[in-house]
Structure 1
Amino acid sequence: MERLTNIVQSIDNITKYSATDIDNFAQELNRDGICVIPHLFEQNLIEEWLEAFKNLFYTRQNQPGGLAPREVSRYYLTLPWISPFANEWVFANPVIMEILQRVFYQEYVMVQLGVDVPFPGSDYQETHRDFRPLFCDRIVTPLYALAVNFPLVEVTPDNGPFQMARGTHLLPREVGLQKIASGEIPMESFYMQPGDVIVRSPLALHRGSPNQTNQPRPMVVMGYAMHWLHTPKVDLTLPQDYYDNLSAELRQMLRCKIVEQLPHEKVETYINFKY
């Protein structure tokens, strides 16, 4: 795939992150299976997304199949490709794109835009992966899929922080679980401010933790994968007029269904997601 030259401009001109910073993020991602980018998005953007998300969530609650259950008091929903969610500065953010270009060695596509939400009463998820290895656990799988997460509220010890064991994307699943159980590799909680972004390997062992507050904790997830990966459980649907106005590079990057008009009701299918 051609580089996104119309979107990915000189990093020095558009952000405080230098090319060296981007290199370091990519190295962390390869080594640890995760990197954290502080303060990537502005607060007004996060506030706009939060307000729109609240309205969408409560609408979906009243639709049959409008939310995908994720165990007790935890839900997932796909975001519609409308304002404010259809935002090139988010899904094709120059910093994120530069990191992906450093770790993906073939063409990649965006396949997912959704939100994971633990509510009060949620519990620990089973420690899991979001994808299987390409072949088997005896062969280290390169980074062929990545999740980009950012919260719409502050993530604290009490409202269900994402937890992950660094480096377990390079280990056989059972070895990773043993090292977590023995304490050799800690299950780390990631506390985040609105505007912070995580890029992570879905093969690293991780889990959601309980939300012990009285407010939901929405976490946006954007999924990117090598162009040859089959991803039937997630989908993007774009209106024709929006798609037509994108650059050729962005149209190539989005694996999506094109429709004249977005459906009024969405039935979620991304339910079985743990390996």
Structure 2
Amino acid sequence: MVQSINKIAKYSDADLDKFAEQLKTDGICIIPQLFERKLINEWAEAFANLFRERQNQPGGLAPREVSRYYLTLPWVAPFADVSVFANPVIMSILKRVFWQEYVLVQLGADVPFQGSDYQETHRDFRPLFCDQIVTPLYALAVNFPLVEVTADNGPFQMARGTHVLPREEGLKKIASGEIPMESFYMQPGDVIVRSPLALHRGSPNRTSQPRPMIVMGYAMHWLHTPKVDLTVPRDYYESLPIDIRQMLRCEVVEQLPKEKMETYVNFKY
């Protein structure tokens, strides 16, 4: 946890308040250089090996349209890292916008390859009730890339402020240019926290290298999230402090399964 303790010292309460306010108003905030490059390199190497394994397993990858895939990360090193999924900076922001207990429900990755295209502009969740009632922040996605994200390799694109608009109104404002669809370029170590209700899309990766983007999903404790799942080995789970255990919505198993069948296929609203 040394890295996390050092990193939170970079940000004052005023900084954290600003991140939280941006999240409420824009539906997104960017935390620069939260994670060390060494950590990102370790994840990138492990992820490359994992992806090759999953490619050879039936159902090991969930399709995300052409040449784009999603996969759940196994709860093993280096991915099972308290300094990442319970990072104090991220937790401090979440506590400022979630007014009840929240849980981690998702740890996965989105990977566009060469040949991918623009996704249909979409949301990841439906509103709680209807478009005419503004939905508070009840779920958040935390993203960080394992490579530099440039204009050429498929940057995440989002229209700020559309998380509080009816879907059709947001789409009209994007189409007219009133609200731009913004590309988010990132360095390894940068982190985005965003509302899944904000209208967004993936863009084409025109390079020969994949662009893996990690996603950690957090949600209010009462939200039903059947499309994503966490499976955690019992020995690791029982080694965690009680407050961290309570934050994980997971299945605790004696041993992780050798193969993973991805079920998170429908993802657009």
TM-score range, shorter chain: over 0.9
Find out whether 1:78 has 2:69 as its counterpart: no
Find out whether 1:148 has 2:124 as its counterpart: no
Find out whether 1:250 has 2:244 as its counterpart: yes
- Find 2:125's aligned residue among 97, 122, 131: 131
**Structure 1 counterpart SS, 2:137:** coil
| Residue in 2 that maps onto 1:29 | 23
The letter for the 1-side match of 2:178 is: E
| Residue in 2 that maps onto 1:16 | 10
**Structure 2 counterpart SS, 1:51:** helix
Q: Deviations over 1:214-248 (max 9, x none)?
A: 00000000000000000000000000000000000
Q: Deviations over 1:13-38 (max 9, x none)?
A: 84311111000000000000000000
Q: 1:179 to 1:13 in 2, by over 3 A?
A: closer
Query: TM-score scaled by structure 2?
Result: 0.98
Superposition CA RMSD, Å:
1.2
- Find 2:228's aligned residue among 224, 234, 243: 234
Q: 1:244 to 1:166 in 2, by over 3 A?
A: same
Q: Return the alpha-carbon distance in structure 2 between the equivalents of residues 19 and 127 of structure 1.
A: 34
Q: Return the alpha-carbon distance in structure 1 between the equivalents of residues 66 and 169 of structure 2.
A: 28
Unaligned runs of 5+ in 1: 1-6
Query: TM-score scaled by structure 1?
Result: 0.96
| Residue in 2 that maps onto 1:58 | 52
User: For the Cα contact (< 8 Å) 2:162–2:198, is it kept in 1?
Assistant: yes
The letter for the 1-side match of 2:214 is: V
Q: 1:255 to 1:25 in 2, by over 3 A?
A: same
The letter for the 2-side match of 1:233 is: K
- Aligned ranges for residues 202-213 of structure 1 at < 5 Å? 202-213=196-207
Unaligned runs of 5+ in 2: none
The letter for the 2-side match of 1:157 is: A
Find out whether 1:195 has 2:165 as its counterpart: no
> Structure 1 residue runs of 4+, over 2 Å off?
10-15
The letter for the 2-side match of 1:140 is: V
- Find 1:168's aligned residue among 158, 162, 171: 162
How high is the sequence identity, in percent, across the aligned residues? 80
